[in-house]
Amino acid sequence: MGKHERIYHLVGWVLFLVCAAFFIASAVRSGDLLYLIGSIIFFVACISFVIPLVSNRRQPAALAQDGLWNGEDRGPRRSR
């Protein structure tokens, strides 16, 4: 993912977080417990999508191409 695309994704998810915060405030103001629970779940879900975008951990391109990133270790390579 390019730098500009990453920024656009991050801005979009931050806007979703702002919306979720307003939903939570509205639910508290109206006293609707079901609405509050749904809003909090929505807020937490949005945070789960933001975490990979702001993480400092970079994925090395070579490991990604080989399928060795995220614990997909295939063991030692053997030449045939």
Q: Please report the beta strands in the chain, taking only residues with DSSP state E, as ranges in sequence order.
A: none
pLDDT of residue 57 exceeding 80? no
Closest listed residue to residue 24, CA positions, set 49, 5, 45: 45
pLDDT of residue 22 exceeding 80? yes
Given this model, what pLDDT does residue 33 score? 96
pLDDT band for position 78 (cuts 50, 70, 90)? low
pTM, full prediction: 0.64
Task: List Cβ neighbours of 14 (8 Å cut-off, separation of 6 or more).
Answer: 50
Which has more pLDDT, 33 or 74? 33
Given this model, what pLDDT does residue 2 score? 84
Tokens (6 digits) for 66:
């080989």
Summarize the confidence of residues 15-19 as an average pLDDT.
Answer: 96
Q: Which residue shows structure tokens 């045939």?
A: 80
Given this model, what pLDDT does residue 8 score? 92
Q: How far apart are the C-alpha atoms of 62 and 40, rounded to whole Å? A: 39
Q: How far apart are the C-alpha atoms of 14 and 62, rounded to whole Å? A: 31
